[in-house]
Homo-oligomer: A and B are copies of this chain.
């Protein structure tokens, strides 16, 4: 059973998940990635190599755990948290534990082994977004969970162990510290100004027009003013919204559009870099919030965070966000 441990000084929770030590990777060096791989558990025809599917979008008449799907959600074979049981919060001397209860799922985003978001049709990416949303709605029903996190590690240097395009969902018994800080910052700002800080940033960014990478009717993508990493990106809905699942249909279309656009710009400018993204959404039980604004944080993995950063929480970024935005904006 994975274990959650709380740092007795600063209160940070850490997952100790010892059973994940020996995960196989299928990355090989400098090889062309084929459109289908017979050894890939996420490729069509290999459905029996994965745990039984939780959700799939598939052609009418096809069966669960067989071919015919275009998006498929399965339990992670090496989960960092386990679904069964109770939290079992407890102390041991001055140390606090809880059991590693949660869900860990994998969203296989396409049947194509080698397709980036920018290679897919818009409707294909829309389907991935609908799958994220369906799983969020379902997982939020479980009262043990405080947060549902959707994230993606793409490429080995970004922490992925498999090449096949996939994102991950973790439902967890605690709100991640980074989201907590945003909630607190948003609340403080709202108390002072009675406005959403994210909405104010969007207005300010549109006016300054220095850090905008891409924009459509519903979404804007910027390089954040205090970017931690070179080419760090943030995608925000232009209209205030604290809950991802409240997306309307035209917003799903435009989110797919901007995700594909950004992915293409990143791949052209930075030579198809490994990257991570994470959806920052409101906690499960918070309802709609006037001071929080869901968004996607994305960053290509171009540098190694070194000793300075993990030891201090202080980031050194060698690329100005204005320069990064310019490069990405101007790429053909």
Of all chain B residues, the one with the shortest Cβ separation from A160 is B306
Rounded to whole Å, the gap between the CB of A223 and the closest CB of chain B is 11
The 10 listed contacts between A and B (C-beta, < 8 Å) are: A7-B224, A7-B225, A14-B316, A16-B321, A17-B316, A93-B207, A153-B307, A159-B307, A177-B314, A278-B310
A323–B11 CA distance with the chains assembled, in angstroms: 23
Give the docked Cα–Cα distance between A176 and B158 (Å): 26
Q: Is the CB of B179 within 8 A of A312?
A: yes
Copies in the complex: 2
With A8-B201, A170-B308, A201-B8 in contact, do A315 and B182 touch (Cβ < 8 Å)?
A: no
Is A323 a contact of B18 with CB atoms below 8 Å? yes
Distance, CA A7 to CA B189, complexed state (A): 13
The 9 closest A-B pairs by CB, nearest first: A159-B306, A276-B307, A278-B311, A176-B312, A177-B313, A178-B313, A5-B226, A7-B226, A10-B181
Q: Which of B186, B228, B278 interacts with A312 by CB under 8 Å?
A: B278
- Judge whether A227 and B14 touch: CB under 8 Å: yes
Report the separation of the CA atoms of residues A32 and B269 in the bound assembly, to the nearest whole angstrom.
37
Name A207's closest neighbour in chain B (CB-CB): B93
Task: Please give the number of chain A residues whose Cβ is less than 8 angstroms from any Cβ of chain B in the complex.
Answer: 77
Tell me the minimal C-beta distance from A244 to chain B in angstroms: 14
**Smallest CB–CB gap between A324 and chain B, Å?**
10
Q: Is A200 an interface residue (CB 8 A)?
A: yes
Distance A185 CA – B6 CA, assembled complex (angstroms): 12
Are B278 and A318 neighbours in the complex by a CB distance under 8 Å? no
Query: Are B314 and A13 interface neighbours, CB within 8 A?
Result: yes
Instruction: Decide yes or no: A226 and B6 within 8 Å by CB, A17-B316, A320-B16 being known contacts.
Output: yes
Are the C-beta atoms of A278 and B308 separated by less than 8 Å? yes
A6 proximity list for chain B (CB < 8 A): 226
Contact of A318 with B18 in the complex, beta carbons under 8 Å: yes
Cα distance, A219 to B277, chains bound together (Å): 41
Tell whether, in the assembled complex, residue B306 and residue A158 are in contact, meaning their CB atoms are under 8 Å apart: yes
Q: Does A80 contact B (CB under 8 A)?
A: yes
Q: Which of B93, B157, B306 contacts A208, CB < 8 Å?
A: B93
Bound Cα distance from A310 to B310, whole angstroms: 10
In the complex, A68→B96 CA distance in Å? 53
User: A63 contacts the other chain (Cβ, under 8 Å)?
Assistant: no
Query: Per-residue 0/1 for A28-49: is the Cβ within 8 Å of any B Cβ (1 yes, 0 no)?
Result: 0000000000000000000000
Complexed CA–CA distance, A93 and B225 (Å):
12
CA distance A318 to B320 in the complex (A): 35
Q: Is A297 an interface residue (CB 8 A)?
A: yes
**In the assembled complex, which residues on chain B have CB atoms less than 8 Å from the CB atom of A160?**
306
Chain B residue at minimum C-beta to C-beta distance from A276: B307
Contact with B along A147-163 (1 / 0, CB 8 A): 00101110001111000
A332 at the A/B interface (Cβ < 8 Å)?
no
Min C-beta distance of A302 to chain B, whole Å: 11
Q: Contacts of A170 on B, CB cut-off 8 Å?
A: 308
8 A Cβ contacts from A180-234 to B: 181-182, 184-186, 189, 197-198, 200-201, 204, 207-208, 224-228
Whether B315 lies near A14 (C-beta < 8 A) is: yes
The interface residues of chain B lying within 8 Å CB-to-CB of A321 are 16
Q: Smallest Cβ distance from A12 to chain B, in angstroms?
A: 7
